[in-house]
Amino acid sequence: MSPAVRNWAGNITFNAARVHAPSSVERLREIVAGSRSVRALGSGHSFNAIADTRGDLVSVAGLPRHVEVDREAATVTVGGGLRFAEFTGDVHRAGLALHNLGSLPHISVAGACATGTHGSGSGNGTLASAVRSLELVTADGEQLVLERGDADFAGAVVALGALGVVTRMTLDLVPAYDIRQWAYEGLPYGRLRERFDEILSAAYSVSLFTGWRGDELEQVWLKQRVGDPGPWPAPADWFGARPATGPLHPVPGMDPANCTRQAGVPGPWHERLPHFRADFTPSNGDELQSEYFVAAEDGLAAFDALARIRDRIAPVLRIGEIRTVAADDLWLSPAYGRDSVAFHFTWFQDTDAVTPVLDAIEEALEPFAVRPHWGKLFTMEHQRLRGLYERYADFEALTARLDPRGTFRNDLLERYFPGG
């Protein structure tokens, strides 16, 4: 009997018969080649059973801590098990940067990219959009390298672990930059509706936090690159919102000491783009999460649709967040082919209470071809999802070709990709 292994939130206990933590790629290849069923586990920050298996669960956290910055090529090559906080400092010291980061710097690079995880900014693509190449161990234990421009590449980056275990990734970089972050309180819903696109594109990265209660959004976080044009330092009245009088945490009642520096104090990109500090290690979260993406042009209508059911949402919600994501060409990315507005929900940890609310949200957003975040909670059936992705069948064909025995399949993949 394997020891019980749970995800970060504690709502999933993996059904693995065996749990492995190989310290070398060679050992990982042996495990995969000798197994009939394998799933990879990164930081465990997904909220559904995407990493579950009844066979071998392989943690990539113990793989070599490889970090190689190429200044001339403006890339960094890292081990797939590394968390962003473990290499972004090296990148910054080399005078370079990633274009964006997620809210938590504690998530693994391979897991974040495999699920289409993102930061914020109308000009910023998902974290996966920075991937230039990846190396993975396939079902026969061999190593496969795919590079941008290869026929299979766009189907292999956001791949939900269906093609193999990612051991190394090369990411595109940009010149290093500093960020100033300001927080505001009390943005009126009416002003947001009047200036929706303008507000969400007002800074390099914009996050709107709402509990879907009352007539105001509780908080707005603006992350602006130092030197970029704009009305900075931040004005005293910002679309009717007022400057915060002290540091804020997105979730009411939580200690803001764990959040990245606010009040317009400049700092390196990797210390401001996340919402939470790298030196703060989150405990297992007493929460669940969901997120839904709609085309940018449908963002306001989708906001209105959610506002109409806020009496269903608010009682089980800790906090919601609204962000923007630029389009990419990765087959299963929720931002595939369209600039997007993403509606995020951090729920109380009560699956029975949250599930019917997810049904209500998905019904409300159905007119907007809504796509869910692959690593969070949703209830859509595969036929509906299949109609939302132009390359869905191509991805199924790719998994069937690279994993003909179904070594990397699990119940979630069987449910959503039965043709794989």
For residues 91 and 296, what is the distance between their CA atoms, to the nearest angstrom? Answer: 31
Residue 286 maps to which CATH number?
3.30.70.2520
Residue at 62 is within a domain: no
Residue at 396 is within a domain: no
**363: Cβ contacts below 8 Å, ≥ 6 apart:** none
- In this structure, what DSSP letter does residue 366 have? G
Say what the pLDDT of residue 12 is.
86
Q: Which residues pair with 346 in a beta bridge?
A: 289, 319
Number of domains in the chain: 2
Same domain flag for 124 and 185: no
- Asked if 94 contacts 71 with a C-beta cutoff of 8 angstroms, the reply is yes
Say what the pLDDT of residue 353 is.
97
Residue 152 maps to which CATH number?
3.30.465.10
- In this structure, what DSSP letter does residue 247 have? -
**383: Cβ contacts below 8 Å, ≥ 6 apart:** none
The pair of three-digit structure tokens given for residue 49, joined into one six-digit string: 């059973």
- Asked if 132 contacts 168 with a C-beta cutoff of 8 angstroms, the reply is no
- In this structure, what DSSP letter does residue 4 have? P
Say what the pLDDT of residue 22 is.
95
Residue at 279 is within a domain: yes
Residue at 101 is within a domain: yes
Which of 128, 43, 15 has the alpha carbon at shortest distance from 373? 128
Whose tokens are 């996340």? That residue is 274
Three-state secondary-structure class, residue 134:
strand
Same domain flag for 201 and 329: yes
The pair of three-digit structure tokens given for residue 252, joined into one six-digit string: 């009411």
Global pTM value:
0.96
Residue 315: count of CB within 10 angstroms of its CB:
12
Residue at 407 is within a domain: no
Same domain flag for 170 and 203: no
- List, run by run, the mean pLDDT of 10-residue segments along the chain (420 residues): 75 90 96 96 90 93 93 96 96 98 94 94 97 97 97 98 97 98 96 97 96 95 90 82 95 91 96 93 76 98 98 97 98 98 96 98 98 97 94 97 96 92
The pair of three-digit structure tokens given for residue 115, joined into one six-digit string: 């699920």
Same domain flag for 229 and 356: yes
Q: Which residue range is the domain that position 106 belongs to?
A: 67-176
Residue at 2 is within a domain: no
Question: Nearest 5 degrees, angle CA 296-CA 297-CA 303?
Answer: 75
- Asked if 86 contacts 62 with a C-beta cutoff of 8 angstroms, the reply is no
Residue at 339 is within a domain: yes
Same domain flag for 87 and 189: no
Question: Which of 149, 176, 203 is the C-terminal boundary of a domain?
Answer: 176
Characterize 255-286 residue by residue with b for buried, 16 or more Cβ atoms within 10 angstroms of its Cβ, and e for exposed.
eeeebbebeeeeebbbbbbbbbbbeeeeeebe
Question: Which of 176, 200, 229 is the C-terminal boundary of a domain?
Answer: 176
Whose tokens are 């009411």? That residue is 252
Same domain flag for 187 and 171: no
For residues 403 and 97, what is the distance between their CA atoms, to the nearest angstrom? Answer: 35
Cβ-based burial of 246 (10 A; exposed 0-12, middle 13-18, buried ≥19): exposed
**393: Cβ contacts below 8 Å, ≥ 6 apart:** 386, 419
Same domain flag for 156 and 291: no
Which of 263, 258, 295, 292 has the alpha carbon at shortest distance from 278? 258
Say what the pLDDT of residue 229 is.
80
Residue at 57 is within a domain: no
Same domain flag for 193 and 152: no
Same domain flag for 79 and 114: yes
**318: Cβ contacts below 8 Å, ≥ 6 apart:** 211, 251, 252, 287, 346, 347, 348
- In this structure, what DSSP letter does residue 349 have? S
- Asked if 337 contacts 116 with a C-beta cutoff of 8 angstroms, the reply is no
Same domain flag for 287 and 238: yes
Question: Nearest 5 degrees, angle CA 283-CA 288-CA 293?
Answer: 125
Question: Which of 111, 142, 176 is the C-terminal boundary of a domain?
Answer: 176
- Asked if 158 contacts 113 with a C-beta cutoff of 8 angstroms, the reply is yes
Same domain flag for 144 and 240: no
Same domain flag for 131 and 183: no
